[in-house]
Structure 1
Amino acid sequence: MVHQYKLNGYNIVLDTCSGSIHSVDDLAYDVIGMIREYTQGDIIDAMLEKYDDVTAEDVQECIDDVVALRRAGKLFTPDNYEHLAYDFKARNTVIKALCLHVAHTCNLNCSYCFASQGKYQGERALMTFEVGKRAIDFLIENSGTRRNLEVDFFGGEPLMNWDVVKQVVAYAREQEKLHDKNFRFTLTTNGMLIDDEVIEFANKEMHNVVLSLDGRREVHDHLRKDYAGNGSYDRIVPKFQEFVKKRGDKNYYMRGTFTHNNVDFTNDLFHMADLGFTELSMEPVVCAPDDPYALTEEDKLILFEQYELLAKEMLKRKKEGRPLTFYHYMLDLEHGPCIYKRISGCGSGTEYMAVTPWGELYPCHQFVGDEKYSMGDIWKGVTNKEVQDEFKCCNAYAREGCKDCWAKLYCSGGCAANAYHATGSITGIYEYGCDLFKKRIECAIMMKVSEASE
């Protein structure tokens, strides 16, 4: 399968199954587009009619080059991966990561919150240390021989249960020595409760921190308010700046959400860059289509333009010595995930699970509160094997609409939760999200082509 597109002056040809990427001239671009459906004679005639400055010999030489690439397995490579997807249900998976919902409550009242302001459609609650401790034991017991394990502290707002976070980290550090494990912790916070003690502890113990900021003050404060109706921008930005300043070279992300209110989201990213933040992520809102801030079909073309603008500006800033990292443009073309990972995706429901304050297990944080997807608990383990098998089989080849998609080995079929909320099935397709994803991948590949051309 081949995908061709033009962006930022480059003619780009992606061979999906081999992963080969070609930056070609106009003639080669057209030849590749015709070669599977037309005879060589037809191609030569068409090219001579289109281009005044090429000869029949030029076209034939180009055709020969394309044929050679095909024989070398770098163009029109057959899809030999589908059979691997059928082995997933039988595979023996181990759990490598948990998302600990240490706080089903929040001190903000964000309008678009998928977690119902931290309550997840249920009661407000804080995880006890005993539950957190058992979650660590459960992860160790079910991790097999895997040494590197991940724990995300999530909410709601996890800083509302900060003492338990610290206790769980301390307990895990004790256990990793006993069981030859290595824990990597992530903290996601809205910033309202950050203080010097939080900064010091997180910068020592957290492998990554995710800081929630939607960009410009007016954009952020429009939807990210406290319960009194006041915006949070002025209270959190100085704290985030201090946090990142003291973090040094450790991982962090400024994580924003864009909605119908700010389809010009690059201005929010550049605003965050002006504030001193260089590690950036901006996600499209996922909500009911009748919500006033829901993205519309009319917004989509604007968003495509924004992604392209962002890619070009990032290339420019890199040349100027002031680079930015955008999460969705991080693409490793040489040492990326193995083919099994590229087919199966994030591992939700199999290798990765969410734990509620009461110790209940769900496939990921976006399923918490939906009893249909309750998988068991951290004491008895996974008892709902049907759900786990459903997620084992959720991959790039489980969705009919994905089988012939050029991007399937980059998105692995997309987010199961987004598909479920959009279609009622984890093997459905959230088409709006797919379209945005494909544009992001096109931009990310273009940036790689540009950097390789320098």
Structure 2
Amino acid sequence: MIHRYKLNGYNIVLDVFSGSVHVVDDLAYDIIGMYEDTDTDGIIAAMLKQYADDASVDEAEIRDCIDDIEELKEQGKLFTADDYADLAFDFKARNTVIKALCLHVAHTCNLNCEYCFASQGKYHGDRALMSFDVAKQAIDFLIEHSGSRKNLEIDFFGGEPLMNFDVVKEITAYCRSIEKEKGKNFRFTLTTNGVLLDDEVIDFANKECHNVVLSLDGRKEVHDRLRKTVNGNGSYDLIVPKFRHFVERRGNKGYYIRGTFTHNNTDFTNDIFHMADLGFTELSMEPVVCPPDDPYALTYDDLPVLFEQYEILAKDMLRREKEGKPITFYHYMLDLNAGPCIYKRISGCGSGTEYMAVTPWGDLYPCHQFVGNTEHLLGNVYDGVTNPAVQDEFKLCNAYARPDCKDCWAKLYCSGGCAANAYHATGSVTGTYQYGCELFKKRIECAIMMKVAQAQNAE
């Protein structure tokens, strides 16, 4: 499978199944587009007609180009066969170990964000804080079901996890106390809205947390529109000084500023640039996922604007890099030489199998976006997975299980997409969230273009 596109002055050809990326001239670009469906004589005739006004393009030049394409094909760098479909075996046969838990230590929040998928942290249920006893059982459950895997991950999540900071500290101390005995290594991530961020939290995070996710939507007027305190006031002025202090104390690494853009700010690059101007360099900006009748829901009419925004961002990031002031954008992080293994590229995040969310009372769900949806309740940290049918369904979540992914060039980059988004859009975890697919494909095109530009600038 081949994907061709033009961006930022480059003619880019991606060979999907080998992962090879080629930057070609116009003639090669056009011939590659015809190669699979047209014989040599037909290609020559078409190119001679198309390039009739270009004296440099004659039959010999066209034949040389075809020869180069055929050589790349023989080398397995163009028109490569899909050798991975057979690897998408019945995932029910997998003996999957659990490697990560998302601990919902607080089903409550000190903000009242209008677009919150978790219903202001309550997950459409009662407010609750996780006890240490439940948390300890969750850790013991993870260890018991992690097999020989050494590196385990714990995400402190909510609601707002710092509303239960004492238990966060207790959980961390417990994990550290058993690491050596159990032969495990724990990595912690904390996601916070910043309201309760202080020097004690910063000291803890700098000592214990591999990553910290800070929620900020960008410009003050954008952030304050939807991210309000319980009193209805905007939270920008409250949290931004704390975030700047945190990032400075953390040495500008091991964190992400994570924002959400909506129909209200389709010019979201201005929010990213605003955050960069504040001194933040590790950035993520996610499209809102909400019912289509919400006033801030993204529409299909927004797509051309969003595509343009992603291109603006990629080009500006290249400019900043040249000037020695780079920023990182989460969705443009792409390693073309040593990326994820093919198993990971097919199967994705592992929700419901390798990764689970734990509620304050110990229930297990496939991930944080399914919490509260009882039809996806897996079990609990005391009895383990008691609903294997749900887990079997998630074992089948992969790039080859979704019919809509069959002919998609991006499937080995998105692994079939987010199961939660698919479920909320289609009612099935093996469906596809088409709107998200369009945005993802554009981001990957931009990320590949950046790699091309960086390689050429290095030459």
Structure 2 partner of 1:392: 395
1:323 to 321, 326, 336: 326
| Shift in Å, 1:46 | 1.5
Structure 2 partner of 1:252: 255
| Shift in Å, 1:87 | 3.7
Structure 2 partner of 1:198: 201
Aligned mates of 2:275, 2:142 — CA distance in 1 = 36
Structure 1 partner of 2:38: 38
- Where does structure 1 lack aligned partners over 5 or more consecutive residues? none
Aligned mates of 2:340, 2:352 — CA distance in 1 = 19
Aligned mates of 2:300, 2:374 — CA distance in 1 = 32
> 1:351-362 counterparts in 2 under 5 A?
351-362=354-365
- State yes or no: 1:266 paired with 2:269: yes
Aligned mates of 1:89, 1:71 — CA distance in 2 = 36
> 1:28-427 counterparts in 2 under 5 A?
28-51=28-51, 52=54, 53-248=56-251, 250-427=253-430
Q: Alignment partner of 1:89: what SS?
A: helix
Structure 1 partner of 2:6: 6
- Where does structure 2 lack aligned partners over 5 or more consecutive residues? none
Tell me how large the CA RMSD over aligned residues is: 0.7
| Shift in Å, 1:316 | 0.5
Following TM superposition, the consecutive aligned residue runs of length 4 or more in structure 1 with deviations greater than 3 angstroms are none
| Shift in Å, 1:249 | 5.3
Contact 2:334/2:448 (8 A) holds in 1:
yes
Deviation digits for residues 163-215 of structure 1 (CA, Å, limit 9, x no counterpart) = 00000000000011111110000000000001110111111100000000000
Aligned mates of 1:315, 1:424 — CA distance in 2 = 40
Equivalent position amino acid for 2:71 in 1 = A
Contact 1:203/1:250 (8 A) holds in 2:
no
| Shift in Å, 1:84 | 1.2
| Shift in Å, 1:57 | 0.5
Aligned mates of 1:266, 1:139 — CA distance in 2 = 39
Contact 2:150/2:184 (8 A) holds in 1:
yes
Aligned mates of 1:55, 1:371 — CA distance in 2 = 66
Aligned mates of 2:308, 2:236 — CA distance in 1 = 27
Deviation digits for residues 58-106 of structure 1 (CA, Å, limit 9, x no counterpart) = 1000000001111111111111211211242101000000000000000
Contact 1:153/1:187 (8 A) holds in 2:
yes
Deviation digits for residues 345-396 of structure 1 (CA, Å, limit 9, x no counterpart) = 0000000000000000000000000000000001111111001110001110
- State yes or no: 1:441 paired with 2:452: no
Contact 2:363/2:379 (8 A) holds in 1:
yes
Q: Alignment partner of 1:300: what SS?
A: helix
TM-score normalised by the chain length of structure 2:
0.98
Aligned mates of 1:422, 1:88 — CA distance in 2 = 23
